[in-house]
Amino acid sequence: MTPAPFGRRLCPVVAHEQHGAYDVISVLDAEGPAPEAGQFYMLAASERWGGGADERPFLPRAFSVLRRHEDGRLDFLFEDVGPGTRRLCELRAGDGLWLLGSLGLGFRAPEPGRRPLLVGGGVGIAPLAIWQDVLGGAEALVGFRDEAHARGARLLRDPVVATDDGSVGHHGLVTELLREELDPFVTVYACGPPPMLEAVRALCAAEDVPAQLALESGMACGYGACFGCVVPTRDGYVRLCVDGPVLDGSALEAVA
């Protein structure tokens, strides 16, 4: 892991794209380290980053990096689900974004003789896009609620899509697609909501297939000081921001 420069840095937003229910914001971080797939950043808008009558500042938000470009641009994927993400979705070229990162431990390459299989749900597709870039391509199975959310699938190469309502691709859960694709020669890489990750973990455990899961948890600092992102493992509690966010499925009893 490449250490990030100490402290946060103010980076300019250079582009905004809409992909159905999702927003992709690009920022120029030419001086920052190249992130590893699965790492994350703590983000905060430089202006209007607060709520309520007294505009109390929001805490920074943790987001996996979606993609890094050769010129140092970083892409982040957002969905408007609350005041903080709504403000991030509003950012346009010329606005400023505070970055702290890259942080945490990312994905590891599969062992020789194993092929990578990527499984994502909703905004959990973000770390899979950059990992697919690093791998030079890999099969990806992705699940969404409906057609508007499924437009995010275009951010990956040749994904197989499932939707809850059947509006795009397979009518059902992405883990139903995974069940059909599992074999003894894959390593599964997954990110998505906890119920999806638990289903992935259980399927892989039953078939003795290695799985690396990018977990989510509320983070306040991003570097292990606040203990706000602890999750239980078979060997005790770990802090996702420094011991993850990517953990081996075999290290977990369950994904809460």
Verify that 27 and 140 share a domain, yes or no.
no
Overall pTM surpassing 0.75 (yes/no): yes
Regarding whether 166 and 55 lie in a shared domain, the answer is no
Please report whether residue 90 resides in a domain: yes
Short-list 109, 111, 123, CA closest to 80: 123
Q: Which pLDDT does position 219 carry in this prediction?
A: 82
Q: Is residue 215 part of a domain?
A: yes
Say how many domains are in the chain: 2
Cα maximum dimension of the chain: 58
Token couple for 34: 């190249």
CATH number of the domain where residue 121 is located: 3.40.50.80
E strand or H helix at 239: strand 236-239
52 close to 109: Cβ distance less than 8 angstroms: no
236 and 175: one domain?
Answer: yes
Q: Is residue 4 one of the residues assigned to a domain?
A: no
153 vs 56, 97, 123, 159, CA distance in Å?
A: 35, 25, 10, 7
Asked whether residue 13 is domain-assigned, the answer is: yes
Q: For every one of its 256 residues, what pLDDT tens digit does the chain have, with 9 covering 90 and above?
A: 555 555 789 999 999 999 999 999 999 998 888 999 999 999 999 999 887 666 678 888 999 999 999 999 999 999 999 999 999 999 999 999 999 989 999 999 999 999 999 999 999 999 999 999 999 989 999 999 999 999 999 999 999 999 999 999 999 999 999 999 999 999 999 999 999 999 999 999 999 999 999 998 778 888 888 888 888 999 999 999 899 999 999 999 888 7
Query: What per-residue confidence (pLDDT) applies to 236?
Result: 92
Q: Are 54 and 76 contained in the same domain?
A: yes
Which of 79, 103, 127 terminates a domain? The answer is 103
108 inside domain: no
- Asked whether residue 122 falls in the same domain as residue 207, the answer is yes
- Burial label for 28, CB within 10 Å (0-12, 13-18, 19+), is middle
Asked whether residue 14 falls in the same domain as residue 62, the answer is yes
In this structure, are 177 and 120 located in the same domain? yes
- Domain-ending residue, one of 47, 75, 103: 103
| Structural domain boundaries enclosing 95 | 9-103
Q: How far apart are CA 71 and CA 43, in angstroms?
A: 20
Residue length, the chain?
256
Identify whether residues 204 and 85 lie together within a single domain.
no
The CATH code of the domain that includes 48 is 2.40.30.10
Domain boundary among the residues 103, 137, 163 is at 103
Cβ neighbours of residue 83 closer than 8 Å, sequence gap 6 or more: 51, 58
Running DSSP on this structure, what letter comes out for residue 245? B
Q: Cα separation of 89 and 81, whole Å?
A: 10
Residue 109 lies in a domain: no
